[in-house]
Amino acid sequence: MNKKSLYIIMGACLAFLALVLGIFTLLKTDLNVDGKIKITTSAAVWGDIAKQIGGEHVNVTSVLSDPSADPHLFESGAADTSKITNADIVIVNGLGYDDFMDKALATKQKTNRAYINVAQVMGAPAGANPHLWYHIPQVQLVAGEIANKLGEKDPQNQADYQKNLAVFVDSLQPLIARLDDIRTNHPNAPIAYTERVAGYLASDATLRVISPESFASAIEEGNEPSPSDQATLRDIITTKQIKVLLYNEQAESQVTKDVRSLADQKNIPVVAMGETPPTNMRYQEWQLGHLDSLIRALNN
């Protein structure tokens, strides 16, 4: 074989290789070099659910992942912005809980990035309680949207995403059964909370919150409640007008610690609840612990 023929054959092989690589690139546009879809969420709870739905096909990063930190006081940095802007799918909570996510996205446009706003998926109106993961019956809507976005990005694994979604929805049934138990056995039971983190759970369980909403709002915003609100809540506890105190461990101040101490003194059960699940604990396990603790407190 002469050199000219060899060059022709080599050129044809290279052209064929380039064609194959081009087709592969078109088919795998939304996948990374490791073949996985990158998902960035604001809250770790949505990250956990995304992992459950995506399984082995996704890499998930959550910005708010420290169970000991107050998410309302979080300030993002350059590293966080990079995680957000380079993601294939971004999941934001909405309702002002994670405005840093949208601010980061505004700095870098990405035409093929998928975007999920949890508040919009759940139909939560502006100004609503942002702690949407405590709205347990509605969480499956978010899981469904995650499965849909993953299927659009990666059609060849769509069956896996739908299978994982079905498993996830089924795993919520014990939690919903606990809510039914509370509705049946403790309808309209009076409770108080230091911050409205578990507001949806209380509403879904038909519990009656009698503590001042302005007290909870102040704590959520990192402010000290008014002397009047502090006195009202202390009176509610001292006179034992409530069955249980729900306590947000991630939004603490000396005021909330004093309230918790007073509840302990008066033998009023305190159920600790938070905004970020412990590392490696699944959403369902985390919430089941809250519900079981609440049922024990109400049965006390």
**Structural domain includes residue 29:** no
**Structural domain includes residue 32:** no
Domains held by the chain: number? 2
Same domain, 47 and 148: yes
**Structural domain includes residue 21:** no
Tokens standing for residue 107: 């700095």
Same domain, 52 and 147: yes
Same domain, 76 and 196: no
Same domain, 114 and 190: no
Q: How far apart are CA 79 and CA 73, in angstroms?
A: 17
Residue ending a domain, among 142, 171, 200, is 171
Which strands sit side by side in the sheet containing 89-92, from one edge to the other?
Answer: 58-64, 37-43, 89-92, 114-117
The reported pLDDT for the residue numbered 35 is 84
Same domain, 74 and 163: yes
Tens-place pLDDT, residues 162-199: 999 999 999 999 999 999 999 999 999 999 999 999 99
201: domain CATH number?
3.40.50.1980
Question: Tens place of pLDDT for every residue, the chain, 300 residues?
Answer: 555 555 455 555 455 554 444 444 444 444 565 789 999 999 999 999 999 999 999 999 999 999 989 898 898 999 999 999 999 999 999 999 999 999 999 998 877 899 999 999 999 999 999 999 999 999 999 999 999 999 999 999 999 999 999 999 999 999 999 999 999 999 999 999 999 999 999 999 999 999 999 999 999 999 999 999 999 999 999 999 999 999 999 999 999 999 999 999 999 999 999 999 998 899 999 999 999 999 999 998
Same domain, 108 and 212: no
Residue ending a domain, among 171, 195, 222, is 171
Same domain, 166 and 70: yes
**Structural domain includes residue 96:** yes
**Structural domain includes residue 28:** no
**Structural domain includes residue 68:** yes
Task: Supply the range of the domain harboring residue 244.
Answer: 185-299
- HSE (side-chain half, CA atoms, 13 Å) at 278: 7
Same domain, 151 and 215: no
Mention every residue, 6+ apart, whose C-beta is less than 8 A from residue 31.
37, 88, 153, 154
**Structural domain includes residue 27:** no
Tens-place pLDDT, residues 66-88: 998 989 889 899 999 999 999 99
**Structural domain includes residue 196:** yes
Instruction: Write the Ramachandran bin of 96: left for phi over 0, alpha for psi from -120 to 50, otherwise beta.
Output: left
Same domain, 153 and 194: no
